[in-house]
Structure 1
Amino acid sequence: MSIIYVLIPLAIIIVAIAIGVFFWAVKSNQFEDLDRQGYSILFDDDLSPEEKKLAEERKKLNE
């Protein structure tokens, strides 16, 4: 029964840490672009430097 006095505070601390990590991830925009990894397989990585520069400019305009 005395283990309860250890486990309950430990569980509360773990939940508080998990909530803190979740809010940190939301605040630092970790969930902002969920589609990018799904679409990355559709595009070639073998772009010329000029095409890469143009793609970066387009990305900046869309933001």
Structure 2
Amino acid sequence: MSVLFVLVIIGILVASVFLIAFIWAVRSGQFDDTYTPSIRILFDDHISSPTTDEPQNELKSKPKST
């Protein structure tokens, strides 16, 4: 029976830690922007261009020199 009291106390401590973390996140503005995450998937990713003048497919087709 004493184990039950220990588990209840540990459960209350863990729940209070999560509650404090949630309150801190709300007050620090973590949940202010609710619109952008829902449309972020619609934006295109920027594709970086190769650093050389040759296209990528020509680099793959050249045989390795030994």
RMSD: 1.4
Return 5+ residue gaps in structure 1 as ranges. 47-63
TM-score under structure 2 length normalisation? 0.59
**Distance (Å, rounded) in 2 between the aligned partners of 1:11 and 1:25:** 21
Question: 1:27 corresponds to which residue?
Answer: 27
Is 1:7 the counterpart of 2:7? The answer is: yes
Aligned residues: 46
Distance apart, 1:41 and its partner CA: 2.0
Percent identity, aligned pairs only?
A: 39
**Distance (Å, rounded) in 1 between the aligned partners of 2:11 and 2:43:** 44
Question: 1:49 corresponds to which residue?
Answer: none
Map of 1:18-57 to 2, 5 A cutoff? 18-46=18-46
TM-score under structure 1 length normalisation? 0.61
Distance apart, 1:3 and its partner CA: 0.5
**Distance (Å, rounded) in 2 between the aligned partners of 1:42 and 1:15:** 37
Return 5+ residue gaps in structure 2 as ranges. 47-66
**Distance (Å, rounded) in 2 between the aligned partners of 1:40 and 1:26:** 22
Point out the structure with the larger helix share: 1
